[in-house]
Amino acid sequence: MSWFNKRLGRWCVVVDGRQMYRYRWVMEQHLGRPLEPTEHVHHINGDQADDRLENLQLISPHEHSRLHLADRQSARSRFHAGNEWSEGESCAGCGTREEPHYSLGMCTPCYRRDYYRRRRERAAHAATCTRCGAEFTGFEKNAKYCSSTCNAANARDAHYGRAA
C-alpha cells in the first residue's frame, strides 16, 4: 500500500507492517538489506517525489546536512539579489532603504512586525476565565484561563481532587 503525503511532498509505503518513505524502501531493495538509522537517502535532483533509483544517493547524515545547507544559503542569496530597492522606492513601514525588499512594500523587519500584528488581531477574541470569571482577550481558540496563575491553580486543584 502506498500514498502521497501532500504536506511532506513524499510517497509513503507500508511494508511488513512498517510505515516508511518510499525512497528508503527503494534503497533497501537495491542494497538487499534494511537501512541503518544513520544512513540518509539524498534526492540528487532535489525532487522529493522522484523516487527513481537513479535519483537516489546513500550518504552520511553529515554529508546530507552539508549539501542542504549549501542549497539554503544559495536560495537566500538569490532571494536578496533579486529583491533590491528600486530607484525612488523605500520601505512603506519605516522609510529605510537599507534593508532588502521583502513583501507588501516593506523591509524584512517591518514585514515581520506587521505579519505578527495582523496574526494577533485576527486571533484575538473575548473570553471568560473558567476559574475566576474575569473577562479577558484570548489569542488561542480554546483559551480557558485569564492568566498562568488561574491555569496553575486549576491544575493543582485537579491534581488534588478539589472542586474549582
User: Which pLDDT belongs to residue 30?
Assistant: 94
Residue pLDDT tens, the chain, 164 long: 788 877 777 888 998 888 889 999 999 999 999 999 889 999 888 888 888 999 999 999 888 888 877 766 665 555 555 555 565 677 777 877 766 655 667 777 888 888 888 776 665 678 889 889 998 877 676 788 888 899 899 889 888 887 65
Helix (H/G/I), strand (E/B), else coil: 22:
helix
Choose among 64, 50, 62: nearest CA to 21.
50
User: Which pLDDT belongs to residue 103?
Assistant: 65
User: Which pLDDT belongs to residue 40?
Assistant: 92
Q: Please give the torsion angle defined by the CA atoms of residues 59, 62, 63 and 64, in that order, rounded to the nearest 10 degrees.
A: 70
Q: Where are the domains of the chain?
A: 2-65, 87-122, 124-159
User: Which pLDDT belongs to residue 82?
Assistant: 54
User: Which pLDDT belongs to residue 54?
Assistant: 93
In angstroms, the CA 110 to CA 64 distance is: 34
- The answer to whether residues 11 and 5 touch, using CB atoms and an 8 Å cutoff, is yes
